[in-house]
Amino acid sequence: MNARWVAALLVGLLVVLHVQLWTGRGSVPQVRAWRSDLQALEAANAEARQRNEQLANEVRDLQDGLDMIEELARHELGMVKPNEIFVQIQRTAP
């Protein structure tokens, strides 16, 4: 009779551990969700890292040379050099 109680106790503990594995904190479904969240965050970090690198390169270019400043002034502000004539051609749709 004593062996039956030990076996029942062990089966009960096994059931409790199994339920904890599938529904408790750190369960298999929760770990899968955390892994997918982690992958999404790593992808977002990679994009942000790439954008930061691009911005750092632009800042470095602005600090080092006037060519970039001149290009930005011409493109975004429509500025021209002294003794330079600005010509704008408008095309009409056929």
Rg, C-alpha atoms of the chain: 33
Rounded to 5 degrees, what angle do the CA atoms 49, 51, 55 make?
A: 115
pLDDT more than 70, % of the chain: 98
Q: Is the pTM value of this prediction over 0.85?
A: no
Q: What is the pLDDT of residues 38-67, one digit of tens each?
A: 999 999 999 999 999 999 988 887 777 777
Confidence of residue 87 (pLDDT cuts 50, 70, 90): confident
Q: What is the pLDDT of residues 68-84, one digit of tens each?
A: 777 777 777 777 778 87
Q: Where are the domains of the chain?
A: 31-80
Q: Is 47 or 30 the better-scoring residue by pLDDT? A: 47
Please say if the pLDDT value at position 94 is more than 80. Answer: no
